[in-house]
Chains A and B, each alone.
Chain A
């Protein structure tokens, strides 16, 4: 039993580190995790689900805005990108955040091609993150089910 927990814990640690190393996550995620305590056990999950909901909504907005033939309202796209950037930085979704920065630049430059490309990338990226994080949460759940504790991962 303990061996399983230890193995799971090991797996979890490695996986988390890999997430950091691949640039999916950054320190802010750690900070976020710190905020989760006994008072709010599902804080991180809650925030992340909020984030992903946000993502769906915003990406939908942007896709609609960019889909329009003729005049594209870049300011609307820009506002959405800004929102997304803020959200992603708050949860520590590093890659998404980075993409958002580029996206915002294209938006300001009113580069339609760039915007569309970025939008696609953001879509891919946030979905990838979602999968990764779900995997991670699954691991956590497994650990807890196995009766172990979710280990504190020191990134540095």
Chain B
């Protein structure tokens, strides 16, 4: 049962696995796809980030390039200025320009320019050296600026590289972390999945059952721990992705701010530079005026020249809308001045905002009387309308003029609405001094030396606009310019309200006027775009985290399931094992309980059959009895199996004659064998002692089982050969004395065909070789012998695939076996266990179609010397008679002849063997005094026999008796037999298998009595058996005693009665005066069991004494041991279980109201021989 259970478990497990496997095929696929997806996404991400960096680089380069362009155009303007004023001869360097050599270019330009300027110094135009100085310094400053900007532009590139490195490190680190995590998790997984299996090896199933709670909780704990780790991992992954997003976003913002800063600074610088350039130029103009207007008399400049000049050099001051020169006129000189110029000094109309075109200075009011005036005398064409306007009359202008002449530097007004235009603007004013003003002049000196003022108006919005147009990224950035001289009241000079207010950068502007502060505010035109890069990358990390988490979660839950399953399996296994043990115990108990009532049923059936039944009733009763017998034998087998399995079977240790047991078995099974026409032969080696100590019933059981199987599986041909040897005989194969064994070892039966029947059989040698204990030595002197028993048949054999499970209980070769041959398949298993209990081994060799040979070894004790079996005694007399006789065996098969001669040897008859009748003829003369000739039926030949018979009769005269002729046959019908006998040649036909009792009876009849045997009567008269026997009847019941006495007396027995167990004990002291004793079981004081036990004890003691010769042997006549047959008498068949009787040493039982047949069968066993 346990096996079937395991099997079904296995299959179910397999099924589960297969179904689970399909699920698992999908999972790696999914996992692979996910892996591929992740890797590709990461690659794309990496490429994307690099591209972005190159893009930003490109942006930088573009800025640089534009910057360069701007500067170039500036230089170009400068050159054209020189060129226009006929002061420049050549300027080749422009052609050498290339973006990569910008620095050099700048320097060369500067150098070239210096040369040019030196040349111009000697020009007829006679430029003032200080003016030239201005030029040079301004150009040098431009160069410096360029260099600076170049250096600055380099720095961000480096920074970007660093950033790039950072990102890749992050990625790499993350990957390493991931891989490490995966490895660690895998390790944990592996160790955990291994741990249970290790534990499984150590744990005893029953222990496991007992402690199953503990590991379960441990597993649950482990599962929880794993889940926590997973949760932690997922949380870590999520937080990492959040961090990643934050980090990346931060970087983007930072970068954006940097860009903004850079751009803002750049713009501020450019604006400042441009402004400074024009500032310088205006300064130069002031010097020009001072040189050429005031330094020369008459003046070299008039309105026309000034207008023309300023118009032509306007490109140098792209930021100015116009320049004008005003003369310092004190009030005292006003009239003179007005007279000189022919117009009156006019007042500036700040309120009048009519367009410039409509403005007519003549319409202006004359300037009010002041200390001094600053009437414009020269003006650029664009602002020619302010000629004659008094600059002192304007608020900002006046202040500006005052400051300018005090500082001697250019000064700026705060932004205000420019005259006659709606734009905000500033006015730059330079004071023009007398030429002889010292450098370290005081403020008063400066004011005194002032002769005029040069003003330039800057239109800020258009100015900035123009400038920004030249720069890159004008679309992305919004610029505001503020005047911050008054910190609390910022004046916006340029700008709009649009753009991203959240972030702006402020760069300070220096327009060369220290008293005025300007700032540039930059901000992006558009809001910060959604940071897709950060979102994607962090999203990827999140996805990966969740995927990995999912995978691990799956694994963990699977581990949990597997562990749970394993737990269940273990529990089930333990339960199944416990159930198996319980089953065995149950079977043992129940079988025993079944046996007792079955005995009753069988007994009653037997009694029923003894009553007068008609044929039909008899048939039914017989069928019932037969079924009952089968059932009992089956129950016995099951009981044995259960007993063996639960370890309750113990072997007896009593002396017995192995040959008798084998005789018994062969006589028992001969009927079946003969029915099938199978030859059954028994051979026991001469070296096997007569009496061995062991368990005869178990030995008999094994032999019966093996032979029974052989008969079952052998079909109508061949033989079954039982042979017993001592294992030691096999040890030296060269010196084997035993003829049968020699033949086996030397030739191998199957090859030579030298078998009992002539049919091939499998050589037992193969199975012998597998016995481990076969070669163990040292048992020779310890009083123990190892016997080797072989049962050889020529049956169907065992299929090769079934040979492995032949000893498993309830497993036959295949399911068809039980259909074809019947049986439960338990016998071999029991036999094997029994053999193991006998410290032996069982094995077999089998070839399908040829047959099987089962062998087993068993250790038996050597019986003490002079110890013979009681049952043997009845043959003693006969054996004495036969001793010393000679016989001739004629058989064409050597082994069979050996078997025959073995049986003869047992009777003390020495036999010679010849292989055929002809051979016998030749050697018959040499063998004188033959008592008998045994001829096998196979060797029988009528013609040859006639010759032999003649020879034999010829010797008749010399000998007293002619040899008796016996024919050995496997099967012969009565008709055949009588035919044979009537032919006169043959004295008797012996039906094989040969066995001692049959042989003795037969020989006695033909030799001793000299007459042919009567056909066997079915029932010998009981009177004959019991006549003159001294029998003791023990019963406490007077009536019963009397009845028993009467019954036994009727058969001629001499009956003595006693009424108690004690009295019986007194009568049954050895030497015995009784041949048998019938004992009631239920008696007061001492019951039958107890009495018997005591009698047996006494006998044993006496036997010991006899053995040790303490008591004179002659006192006990010819018996060498004492054993009085004691039979139980019982009224109750059911109660009288045979086993119980046997246990206390009884030899049998009879049911109480004596029945003739029962009495006969019980008694016959003891008195048959006499």
A interface residues with partner B (beta carbon < 8 Å) = 27-28, 31-32, 35-37, 39-40, 43, 46-47, 50-51, 54, 79, 82-83, 85-87, 89-92, 156
- Interface segment among B296-304, B1031-1039, B1142-1150: the answer is B1031-1039
Asked if A31 and B1039 make an inter-chain contact with CB atoms under 8 angstroms apart, the answer reads no
User: Which residues of chain B come closer than 8 Å to A46, judged between CB atoms?
Assistant: 1042
Asked if A87 and B1037 make an inter-chain contact with CB atoms under 8 angstroms apart, the answer reads yes
A51→B1042 CA distance, assembly (Å)? 10
A92→B1046 CA distance, assembly (Å)? 15
User: With A31-B1154, A79-B1084 known to touch, is A90 a contact of B1047 (CB < 8 Å)?
Assistant: no
A-B contact pairs, 15 of them (CB 8 A): A35-B1050, A43-B1046, A47-B1039, A47-B1043, A50-B1042, A54-B1037, A83-B1036, A86-B1037, A86-B1039, A86-B1131, A87-B1037, A87-B1040, A90-B1152, A91-B1043, A92-B1153
Q: In chain B, residues 1016-1051, which have Cβ atoms closer than 8 Å to a Cβ of chain A? A: 1035-1040, 1042-1043, 1046-1047, 1049-1050
A36→B1042 CA distance, assembly (Å)? 12
User: With A35-B1046, A47-B1043, A47-B1046 known to touch, is A90 a contact of B612 (CB < 8 Å)?
Assistant: no
B38 within 8 A of A: no
Asked if A86 and B1040 make an inter-chain contact with CB atoms under 8 angstroms apart, the answer reads yes
A79→B1036 CA distance, assembly (Å)? 11
Closest Cβ of chain B to A79, distance in Å, is 6
B1082 within 8 A of A: yes
Output the nearest chain B residue to A86 by Cβ-Cβ distance: B1037
User: Which residues of chain A come closer than 8 Å to B1154, judged between CB atoms?
Assistant: 31
Asked if B1038 and A87 make an inter-chain contact with CB atoms under 8 angstroms apart, the answer reads yes
Number of residues of chain B lying within 8 A (CB) of chain A: 20
A87→B1131 CA distance, assembly (Å)? 11
Asked if B1039 and A91 make an inter-chain contact with CB atoms under 8 angstroms apart, the answer reads yes
User: Which residues of chain B come closer than 8 Å to A92, judged between CB atoms?
Assistant: 1153
Q: Mark B587-621, 1 if CB is under 8 A from A, else 0.
A: 00000000000000000000000001000000000
User: Which residues of chain B come closer than 8 Å to A51, judged between CB atoms?
Assistant: 1039
Asked if B1043 and A90 make an inter-chain contact with CB atoms under 8 angstroms apart, the answer reads yes
Closest Cβ of chain B to A113, distance in Å, is 26
Among B1039, B1050, B1155, the residue within 8 A (CB) of A87 is B1039
Asked if A39 and B1049 make an inter-chain contact with CB atoms under 8 angstroms apart, the answer reads yes
Among A35, A83, A89, the residue within 8 A (CB) of B1047 is A35
Asked if B1153 and A28 make an inter-chain contact with CB atoms under 8 angstroms apart, the answer reads yes
Asked if B1046 and A90 make an inter-chain contact with CB atoms under 8 angstroms apart, the answer reads no
User: Which residues of chain B come closer than 8 Å to A43, judged between CB atoms?
Assistant: 1046
Asked if B1153 and A89 make an inter-chain contact with CB atoms under 8 angstroms apart, the answer reads yes
User: Which residues of chain B come closer than 8 Å to A31, judged between CB atoms?
Assistant: 1153-1155
User: Which residues of chain A come closer than 8 Å to B1036, judged between CB atoms?
Assistant: 83
Asked if B1039 and A90 make an inter-chain contact with CB atoms under 8 angstroms apart, the answer reads yes
Q: In chain B, residues 491-545, which have Cβ atoms closer than 8 Å to a Cβ of chain A? A: none
Among A27, A50, A79, A82, the residue within 8 A (CB) of B1039 is A50
User: Which residues of chain B come closer than 8 Å to A37, judged between CB atoms?
Assistant: 1050
Q: A39-B1049, A47-B1043, A90-B1040 are in contact. List 6 more A-B contacts (CB 8 A).
A: A27-B1153, A50-B1038, A54-B1039, A89-B1153, A90-B1043, A156-B612
Closest Cβ of chain A to B1092, distance in Å, is 19
A87→B1039 CA distance, assembly (Å)? 5
User: Which residues of chain A come closer than 8 Å to B1039, judged between CB atoms?
Assistant: 47, 50-51, 54, 86-87, 90-91
The 6 tightest CB contacts between A and B, nearest first, are: A87-B1039, A86-B1037, A90-B1043, A35-B1046, A90-B1040, A28-B1153
Closest Cβ of chain A to B7, distance in Å, is 51
Closest Cβ of chain A to B752, distance in Å, is 63
Output the nearest chain A residue to B1051 by Cβ-Cβ distance: A35
Output the nearest chain B residue to A92 by Cβ-Cβ distance: B1153
Closest Cβ of chain A to B295, distance in Å, is 166
Output the nearest chain B residue to A97 by Cβ-Cβ distance: B1131
Output the nearest chain B residue to A26 by Cβ-Cβ distance: B1153
**A79, A89, A90, most chain B CB atoms within 10 A:** A90
Among A82, A87, A91, the residue within 8 A (CB) of B1082 is A82
A36→B1050 CA distance, assembly (Å)? 8
A104→B1154 CA distance, assembly (Å)? 23
User: Which residues of chain A come closer than 8 Å to B1152, judged between CB atoms?
Assistant: 86, 89-90
Asked if B1046 and A40 make an inter-chain contact with CB atoms under 8 angstroms apart, the answer reads yes
A35→B659 CA distance, assembly (Å)? 41
Asked if A89 and B1038 make an inter-chain contact with CB atoms under 8 angstroms apart, the answer reads no
A28→B1047 CA distance, assembly (Å)? 12
Asked if B1037 and A32 make an inter-chain contact with CB atoms under 8 angstroms apart, the answer reads no
Asked if B1043 and A32 make an inter-chain contact with CB atoms under 8 angstroms apart, the answer reads yes
Among B612, B1038, B1049, B1084, the residue within 8 A (CB) of A40 is B1049
A46→B1050 CA distance, assembly (Å)? 15
User: Which residues of chain B come closer than 8 Å to A156, judged between CB atoms?
Assistant: 612
Q: In chain B, residues 1112-1154, which have Cβ atoms closer than 8 Å to a Cβ of chain A? A: 1131, 1152-1154
User: Which residues of chain A come closer than 8 Å to B1042, judged between CB atoms?
Assistant: 46-47, 50, 90
A31→B1082 CA distance, assembly (Å)? 23
User: Which residues of chain A come closer than 8 Å to B1037, judged between CB atoms?
Assistant: 54, 83, 86-87, 90
Closest Cβ of chain A to B846, distance in Å, is 55
Closest Cβ of chain A to B618, distance in Å, is 15
A79→B1084 CA distance, assembly (Å)? 8
User: Which residues of chain B come closer than 8 Å to A39, judged between CB atoms?
Assistant: 1049-1050
Closest Cβ of chain A to B1061, distance in Å, is 15
A79→B1154 CA distance, assembly (Å)? 23
Q: In chain B, residues 1142-1170, which have Cβ atoms closer than 8 Å to a Cβ of chain A? A: 1152-1155
User: Which residues of chain A come closer than 8 Å to B1155, judged between CB atoms?
Assistant: 31
Closest Cβ of chain A to B613, distance in Å, is 11
User: Which residues of chain A come closer than 8 Å to B612, judged between CB atoms?
Assistant: 156
A69→B1013 CA distance, assembly (Å)? 72
User: Which residues of chain B come closer than 8 Å to A87, judged between CB atoms?
Assistant: 1037-1040
Closest Cβ of chain A to B1057, distance in Å, is 12
Asked if A89 and B1131 make an inter-chain contact with CB atoms under 8 angstroms apart, the answer reads yes
User: Which residues of chain B come closer than 8 Å to A28, judged between CB atoms?
Assistant: 1153
A46→B1038 CA distance, assembly (Å)? 11
A61→B1035 CA distance, assembly (Å)? 20
Q: Mark B1065-1108, 1 if CB is under 8 A from A, else 0.
A: 00000000000000000101000000000000000000000000
User: Which residues of chain A come closer than 8 Å to B1084, judged between CB atoms?
Assistant: 79
Output the nearest chain B residue to A28 by Cβ-Cβ distance: B1153
Output the nearest chain B residue to A32 by Cβ-Cβ distance: B1043
User: Which residues of chain A come closer than 8 Å to B1131, judged between CB atoms?
Assistant: 85-86, 89
A51→B1037 CA distance, assembly (Å)? 10
User: Which residues of chain B come closer than 8 Å to A85, judged between CB atoms?
Assistant: 1131
Closest Cβ of chain A to B998, distance in Å, is 34
User: Which residues of chain A come closer than 8 Å to B1050, judged between CB atoms?
Assistant: 35, 37, 39
User: Which residues of chain A come closer than 8 Å to B1035, judged between CB atoms?
Assistant: 86
Output the nearest chain A residue to B1052 by Cβ-Cβ distance: A39
A91→B1043 CA distance, assembly (Å)? 8
User: Which residues of chain B come closer than 8 Å to A35, judged between CB atoms?
Assistant: 1043, 1046-1047, 1050
Asked if A54 and B1038 make an inter-chain contact with CB atoms under 8 angstroms apart, the answer reads yes
Output the nearest chain B residue to A31 by Cβ-Cβ distance: B1153
A51→B1046 CA distance, assembly (Å)? 14
A89→B1154 CA distance, assembly (Å)? 11
A7→B787 CA distance, assembly (Å)? 75
A73→B378 CA distance, assembly (Å)? 169
Output the nearest chain A residue to B1036 by Cβ-Cβ distance: A83
A36→B1039 CA distance, assembly (Å)? 15
Q: In chain B, residues 621-645, which have Cβ atoms closer than 8 Å to a Cβ of chain A? A: none
Closest Cβ of chain A to B416, distance in Å, is 142
Closest Cβ of chain A to B1151, distance in Å, is 11
Closest Cβ of chain B to A89, distance in Å, is 6
A39→B612 CA distance, assembly (Å)? 28
A54→B1037 CA distance, assembly (Å)? 9
Q: Mark B565-577, 1 if CB is under 8 A from A, else 0.
A: 0000000000000
Closest Cβ of chain B to A60, distance in Å, is 15
User: With A39-B1049, A50-B1038 known to touch, is A90 a contact of B1153 (CB < 8 Å)?
Assistant: yes
A86→B1050 CA distance, assembly (Å)? 21
Output the nearest chain A residue to B1155 by Cβ-Cβ distance: A31
User: Which residues of chain B come closer than 8 Å to A79, judged between CB atoms?
Assistant: 1084
